[in-house]
Amino acid sequence: MREMHKDNTRMRRVLTLCLFIIIMVLYISIQLYWGVNLYKAFMNEEKKELDDLLSSVITSYAATTLSKNASNPDSPTLTLERVSTENDSVLTNAVVTGIVKEPEELSSTLEKVLIVASIRTDSLFIDRLAQSFKQKLSGRNIYSLDMELLVNNRLTARSSSKVSEQAFPFYPIQIEIGKEFEVEGETYAITSTVRGEFPKSLRVLASLFIVGILLLVIILYLLITMTKRIERERALTHQQELFFYGLVHDLKLPLSLAHSLIDGLATNVDIPQQAQAGLIEADNHILKLTDDINLLLTMHRVKQNKKSESRQIYIYDMVQDIITEIEAHYPEKKVSFLSEIPDSLSILFPAEELKLILRVFIDNAVKYSQKDPKITVCATGNTDAVSIKISDNGSGIKIFGEDKAYELNQSRIRQLCMDSNGGVGLMIAWTILNAKGGKITYERAMPIGSLFTLSIPFDKN
């Protein structure tokens, strides 16, 4: 049974660890999927915006070569310039003026012709274009710009410039954009490489993602460490439990043998009356010590949260059994017991624990009473709990006043133990009853003595 319990405990720990790992993997996967999609959306949007900016810069540059026709402002005037050659040196430039109802229809053609003409005639074309593009990029998270001109896939011109200071060396981005024109069988390509950084909002999200993963890793490490520590503590507790039960067994065995030996001597051997009285007293001490060992076992079981099986117990019968045992333990005292308990009053409670609780209080009442103890045990019940009152004619508890009732708690129990008015039995009884949701109150009995009231709730299950 113990090995099966250990296997079940180990299986629960493994399942808990696997569940946490699955949750962590799912969290990382979802965050990565969300982060990758967010990165792609940002890069696509950024590339589209930069591509539109470059197109507007190229279009603006081409538009500067257009002049307005004074007679018709809506009609574009295109100035074409052709480089002279040996075979054709007559026409070096020409002005073409025409009336166009919708000039924007020709925008792409005009842009292509004008850009190619500018490339052929202006040696600083790429520098001027890069400077205009740089101005458009001001205020964005861009810190460098490279622009190249390729003619038939051969690098013809290049311009590099610094847009702004690099504030953050982390989270860099690099976006490549460009335009391509084909005129008279030649391909002209303008490419631009923009380097920058993610905006602050995305940097914060990326940082939170990294911090979240680190926290999960730390939690996983702590969980594994805590699991190993719990396993070590449980192994140590198991060893202590084995040692404790072995020690108790070693203590109870000689006590049982001594009790059997004394009982045999007192019954079968003819010895003087004084010696027989001494044997009986010694036997009572042995039985009391055995009861104390049983108290320790009960306290250990309560501390280990080991549950005892509950059954229906008739209070009157149990109290009578305890009275019979106590009368045998104190033959020198003329104890007078008065029981006011209905025969039908019962409670669902672990029998061994309830007997221990009642025995502790009845035994203390006899022990700390006068020469002729008068003990009264009363019990009543309602729909929620059973109330058991145990009173004596002793000297009372000095640390408590006489004007009110005191509910016992852990600190007051400790104070009673230090004052030698309760002992370990009172602490064990309070611990068991407190774990069941009950309570213990104390008040002075009149004219003398103590009155303990035990409130024991019904087991709702």
Q: Enter the tokens of residue 162.
A: 């610094």
Q: Supply the pLDDT for residue 206.
A: 76
Q: Supply the pLDDT for residue 272.
A: 76
DSSP-derived secondary structure for 408-450: --HHHHHHHHHTTSS-HHHHHHHHHHHHTT-EEEEEEPSSSSE
Q: Tell me the one-letter amino acid at 389.
A: K
Q: Tell me the one-letter amino acid at 308.
A: S
DSSP-assigned beta bridge partners for residue 375: 337
251-253-256-257 Cα dihedral, nearest 10 degrees: -120
SS3 196: strand
Span 155-159, average pLDDT: 89
Q: Supply the pLDDT for residue 46.
A: 85
Residue given tokens 């070693």 in the structure block: 250
Residues 6+ apart with CB under 8 A from 25: none
Phi, psi angles (nearest 5°) of residue 386 = -110, 130
Q: Enter the tokens of residue 297.
A: 């076992």
Q: Could you give the CA distance from residue 256 to residue 258 in angstroms, rounded to a whole number?
A: 5
CA Rg value for the chain: 49
User: Higher-confidence residue: 290 or 134?
Assistant: 134
Looking at every residue in the chain, the average pLDDT score rounds to: 76
DSSP category for residue 100: -
From residue 5, give the alpha-carbon distance in Å to each of 8, 9, 199: 5, 6, 56
Domain ranges of the chain: 2-83+92-198, 310-457
Omega cis (within 30) before 447: yes
User: Higher-confidence residue: 460 or 195?
Assistant: 195
Digit-coded pLDDT (tens) for 319-377: 999 888 888 777 777 888 988 999 889 888 888 888 888 988 888 888 877 777 889 99
Q: Indicate whether 52 pLDDT > 50.
A: yes
Give the CATH superfamily of 310-457: Histidine kinase-like ATPase, C-terminal domain (3.30.565.10)
Q: Indicate whether 47 pLDDT > 70.
A: yes
Q: Enter the tokens of residue 415.
A: 């104070």
CA atoms within 13 A on the CB side of 237: 11
Structure confidence at residue 98 as a pLDDT band (50, 70, 90): very low
pTM here is 0.44
* Cβ atoms 286, 278 nearer than 8 A: no
CA atoms within 13 A on the CB side of 427: 19
Structure confidence at residue 99 as a pLDDT band (50, 70, 90): very low
Digit-coded pLDDT (tens) for 167-214: 555 557 888 998 888 877 788 898 999 888 877 777 777 777 788 788
Digit-coded pLDDT (tens) for 227-272: 778 778 877 777 777 777 677 767 777 877 787 777 777 677 677 7
